[in-house]
Amino acid sequence: MSQPPEQPARLAAVGEPSAAVPAERVYELLAHLVASAEICVVEPHYYGSFRLLDAAAKLAATMLGCGLDDPWLARFQAELDRSKVLMMSDRPAFYSYLPQASRQVAQRLLESAGNHVQDAAP
């Protein structure tokens, strides 16, 4: 007995900007992440952080390229691309950027969650 095709995952609430990512782009990012995991066992440990930032920048660029209109994400993606290369030229600055990037994403998630709560209020 065949199963019905799976419905695409819905991440955005009704009325929020969203993007449809072609399967090919999803598999490219998946391949990047999996290959990065494999090579991280032989590379210097700090390359792993670089590869994760690179994947985050690729994900952001993919979403923007697939129609997501999000100025915050566009700025963050450009910042990721600028900051990830610090790993090669200024490792202390690269290390100090990592928690900054995490805080920025956490703040964005909190702002987004706050907007969802306001939208749901009677």
Report the pLDDT value the prediction gives residue 117, as an integer from 0 to 100: 53
Residue 29 in domain = yes
Residue 49 resides in a domain:
yes
Q: Is 113 exposed, middle or buried (0-12, 13-18, 19+ CB in 10 A)?
A: exposed
Q: Read off the pLDDT band of 13 (50, 70, 90).
A: low
d(CA 116, CA 14): 10
Task: Answer yes or no: is pLDDT of 10 > 50.
Answer: no
Residue 7 lies in a domain: no
Q: Is residue 52 part of a domain?
A: yes
pLDDT at residue 7, rounded to an integer: 44
CA distance 32 to 26: 10
How far is the C-alpha of 100 from the C-alpha of 11, rounded, in Å? 25
pLDDT at 90 over 80: yes
Per-residue pLDDT, 97: 97
Residue 1 counted as domain residue? no
Residue 113: band (very low, low, confident or very high) from pLDDT cuts 50, 70, 90: confident
Is 64 a domain residue?
yes
- As for how many domains the chain has, the answer is 1
**Which residue's structure tokens are 């999000």?**
70
User: Rg for the chain (alpha carbons), in Å?
Assistant: 17
Q: What is the mean pLDDT of residues 4-17?
A: 50
Q: For residues 11 and 99, what is the distance between their CA atoms, to the nearest angstrom?
A: 25
Q: Interhelix angle for 91-120 vs 71-84, to 10°?
A: 160
Domain holding 85, by residue range, is: 23-117
